[in-house]
Protein backbone atom coordinates (compact mmCIF):
# COMPACT_ATOMS: atom_id res chain seq x y z
CA UNK A 1 0.00 0.00 0.00
CA UNK A 2 2.80 2.41 0.88
CA UNK A 3 4.53 1.77 -2.44
CA UNK A 4 1.30 2.37 -4.39
CA UNK A 5 0.51 5.65 -2.59
CA UNK A 6 4.11 6.81 -2.93
CA UNK A 7 4.30 5.95 -6.64
CA UNK A 8 0.96 7.59 -7.46
CA UNK A 9 1.97 10.70 -5.52
CA UNK A 10 5.37 11.04 -7.20
CA UNK A 11 4.11 10.34 -10.71
CA UNK A 12 1.21 12.79 -10.32
CA UNK A 13 3.55 15.50 -8.97
CA UNK A 14 5.98 14.93 -11.83
CA UNK A 15 3.18 15.25 -14.39
CA UNK A 16 1.61 18.38 -12.93
CA UNK A 17 4.98 20.11 -12.55
CA UNK A 18 5.94 19.11 -16.10
CA UNK A 19 2.68 20.07 -17.79
CA UNK A 20 0.69 22.41 -15.51
CA UNK A 21 3.16 24.51 -13.54
CA UNK A 22 3.24 28.10 -14.85
CA UNK A 23 -0.05 27.44 -16.68
CA UNK A 24 -3.58 28.57 -15.92
CA UNK A 25 -5.48 26.26 -13.53
CA UNK A 26 -7.10 23.34 -15.36
CA UNK A 27 -10.80 22.86 -14.62
CA UNK A 28 -11.56 19.14 -14.63
CA UNK A 29 -15.10 19.28 -13.22
CA UNK A 30 -16.58 22.81 -13.24
CA UNK A 31 -17.21 24.02 -9.70
CA UNK A 32 -15.89 20.80 -8.17
CA UNK A 33 -12.32 19.96 -9.26
CA UNK A 34 -9.51 22.18 -10.48
CA UNK A 35 -5.84 21.29 -10.96
CA UNK A 36 -3.67 24.21 -9.92
CA UNK A 37 0.00 23.89 -8.98
CA UNK A 38 1.25 25.58 -5.84
CA UNK A 39 4.40 25.05 -3.78
CA UNK A 40 3.67 24.70 -0.07
CA UNK A 41 6.49 25.49 2.36
CA UNK A 42 4.31 24.80 5.38
CA UNK A 43 2.13 22.06 6.73
CA UNK A 44 -1.56 21.50 6.02
CA UNK A 45 -3.42 24.71 5.18
CA UNK A 46 0.03 26.36 4.68
CA UNK A 47 0.49 26.66 8.43
CA UNK A 48 4.07 27.30 9.57
CA UNK A 49 5.56 28.28 6.22
CA UNK A 50 8.80 29.38 7.91
CA UNK A 51 9.32 26.01 9.60
CA UNK A 52 10.01 23.75 6.61
CA UNK A 53 13.02 22.08 8.26
CA UNK A 54 10.92 21.28 11.34
CA UNK A 55 8.27 19.58 9.18
CA UNK A 56 11.03 17.59 7.46
CA UNK A 57 12.31 16.31 10.80
CA UNK A 58 8.76 15.49 11.95
CA UNK A 59 8.07 13.60 8.70
CA UNK A 60 11.29 11.61 9.17
CA UNK A 61 10.23 10.72 12.72
CA UNK A 62 6.78 9.63 11.50
CA UNK A 63 8.33 7.38 8.84
CA UNK A 64 10.66 5.78 11.42
CA UNK A 65 7.76 5.27 13.86
CA UNK A 66 5.58 3.61 11.21
CA UNK A 67 8.40 1.32 10.07
CA UNK A 68 9.12 0.29 13.68
CA UNK A 69 5.43 -0.29 14.39
CA UNK A 70 5.11 -2.42 11.26
CA UNK A 71 7.26 -5.12 12.92
CA UNK A 72 4.32 -5.95 15.23
CA UNK A 73 1.80 -5.86 12.39
CA UNK A 74 -0.53 -8.86 12.03
CA UNK A 75 -3.67 -7.10 10.83
CA UNK A 76 -4.66 -6.43 7.23
CA UNK A 77 -6.75 -3.33 8.09
CA UNK A 78 -3.82 -1.88 10.04
CA UNK A 79 -1.42 -2.81 7.22
CA UNK A 80 -3.58 -0.78 4.83
CA UNK A 81 -3.77 2.07 7.33
CA UNK A 82 -0.04 2.21 7.96
CA UNK A 83 0.61 1.84 4.23
CA UNK A 84 -1.52 4.88 3.49
CA UNK A 85 0.22 6.88 6.21
CA UNK A 86 3.72 5.74 5.23
CA UNK A 87 3.20 6.31 1.50
CA UNK A 88 1.82 9.78 2.14
CA UNK A 89 4.55 10.71 4.60
CA UNK A 90 7.25 9.49 2.21
CA UNK A 91 5.67 11.36 -0.71
CA UNK A 92 5.73 14.70 1.05
CA UNK A 93 9.10 13.94 2.68
CA UNK A 94 10.60 13.38 -0.77
CA UNK A 95 9.46 16.88 -1.73
CA UNK A 96 10.90 18.33 1.47
CA UNK A 97 14.26 16.67 0.89
CA UNK A 98 14.73 17.05 -2.87
CA UNK A 99 12.67 19.97 -4.19
CA UNK A 100 13.67 23.63 -4.31
CA UNK A 101 14.53 25.94 -2.71
CA UNK A 102 17.11 23.75 -0.88
CA UNK A 103 17.71 20.19 0.34
CA UNK A 104 15.65 19.40 3.45
CA UNK A 105 13.79 22.70 2.96
CA UNK A 106 11.88 21.89 -0.20
CA UNK A 107 8.34 22.98 -0.84
CA UNK A 108 5.66 20.32 -1.31
CA UNK A 109 3.86 20.29 -4.66
CA UNK A 110 0.10 20.62 -4.14
CA UNK A 111 -2.29 20.62 -7.08
CA UNK A 112 -5.77 19.25 -6.27
CA UNK A 113 -8.40 21.85 -5.49
CA UNK A 114 -11.91 20.63 -4.73
CA UNK A 115 -14.88 22.96 -4.66
CA UNK A 116 -12.78 26.07 -5.39
CA UNK A 117 -15.61 28.39 -4.36
CA UNK A 118 -15.34 27.13 -0.76
CA UNK A 119 -11.63 28.03 -0.61
CA UNK A 120 -10.81 24.47 0.49
CA UNK A 121 -7.01 24.07 0.61
CA UNK A 122 -5.08 22.73 -2.35
CA UNK A 123 -3.57 19.29 -1.62
CA UNK A 124 -1.88 16.28 -3.27
CA UNK A 125 -2.22 12.49 -3.30
CA UNK A 126 0.23 12.10 -0.39
CA UNK A 127 -2.02 14.34 1.71
CA UNK A 128 -4.99 12.19 0.69
CA UNK A 129 -3.15 9.05 1.81
CA UNK A 130 -2.33 10.64 5.15
CA UNK A 131 -5.89 11.83 5.75
CA UNK A 132 -7.47 8.51 4.70
CA UNK A 133 -4.96 6.60 6.82
CA UNK A 134 -5.66 8.84 9.80
CA UNK A 135 -9.41 8.41 9.49
CA UNK A 136 -9.01 4.65 9.13
CA UNK A 137 -6.70 4.53 12.18
CA UNK A 138 -9.28 6.33 14.30
CA UNK A 139 -12.01 3.98 13.07
CA UNK A 140 -9.92 0.85 13.76
CA UNK A 141 -8.98 2.07 17.23
CA UNK A 142 -12.62 2.94 17.96
CA UNK A 143 -13.68 -0.56 16.87
CA UNK A 144 -11.00 -2.13 19.08
CA UNK A 145 -8.79 -3.53 16.30
CA UNK A 146 -5.18 -3.91 17.46
CA UNK A 147 -2.07 -3.82 15.28
CA UNK A 148 -1.16 -7.34 16.41
CA UNK A 149 -4.39 -8.70 14.89
CA UNK A 150 -6.34 -9.01 18.13
CA UNK A 151 -9.52 -7.17 18.90
CA UNK A 152 -10.25 -5.47 22.18
CA UNK A 153 -13.86 -5.82 23.27
CA UNK A 154 -15.96 -4.48 26.09
CA UNK A 155 -17.07 -7.89 27.29
CA UNK A 156 -15.64 -9.03 30.62
CA UNK A 157 -12.69 -11.42 30.66
CA UNK A 158 -14.68 -14.08 32.57
CA UNK A 159 -16.39 -16.45 30.17
CA UNK A 160 -14.69 -15.00 27.07
CA UNK A 161 -13.01 -17.46 24.78
CA UNK A 162 -9.26 -16.92 24.35
CA UNK A 163 -7.28 -17.93 21.28
CA UNK A 164 -3.61 -18.65 21.76
CA UNK A 165 -0.74 -18.34 19.31
CA UNK A 166 -0.67 -22.10 18.76
CA UNK A 167 -4.31 -21.99 17.71
CA UNK A 168 -5.59 -23.64 20.90
CA UNK A 169 -8.74 -22.26 22.39
CA UNK A 170 -9.15 -21.77 26.11
CA UNK A 171 -12.61 -21.06 27.45
CA UNK A 172 -11.54 -20.74 31.08
CA UNK A 173 -10.20 -17.26 31.69
CA UNK A 174 -6.94 -16.90 33.53
CA UNK A 175 -5.56 -20.39 32.80
CA UNK A 176 -3.00 -21.00 30.07
CA UNK A 177 -4.05 -23.50 27.41
CA UNK A 178 -2.97 -27.04 28.24
CA UNK A 179 -2.72 -26.35 31.99
CA UNK A 180 -6.38 -26.59 32.97
CA UNK A 181 -7.37 -28.65 35.98
CA UNK A 182 -9.68 -30.80 33.85
CA UNK A 183 -6.82 -32.06 31.72
Residues assigned a catalytic role: 110, 127
Nearest to 41 by CA among 102, 88, 107: 107
Please give the Cα distance from 150 to 144 (Å, whole number).
8
Q: Any idea how long the chain is? A: 183
Contact 177, 171 (CB under 8 A): no
d(CA 43, CA 14) in angstroms, rounded, equals 20
| Exposed e or buried b per residue across 91-106, where buried means at least 16 C-beta atoms within 10 angstroms of its C-beta | bbbbbbeebeeeeeeb
Distance CA 83, CA 5 (A): 8
Q: 113 to each of 4, 16, 45, 126, how far by Cα in Å?
A: 22, 13, 12, 14
Amino acid sequence: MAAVVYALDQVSKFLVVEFLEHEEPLTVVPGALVLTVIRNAGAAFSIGTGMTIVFTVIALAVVVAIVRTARKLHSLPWAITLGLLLGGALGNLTDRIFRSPAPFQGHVVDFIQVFPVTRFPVFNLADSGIVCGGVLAVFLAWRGHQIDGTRQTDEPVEGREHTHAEGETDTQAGEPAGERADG
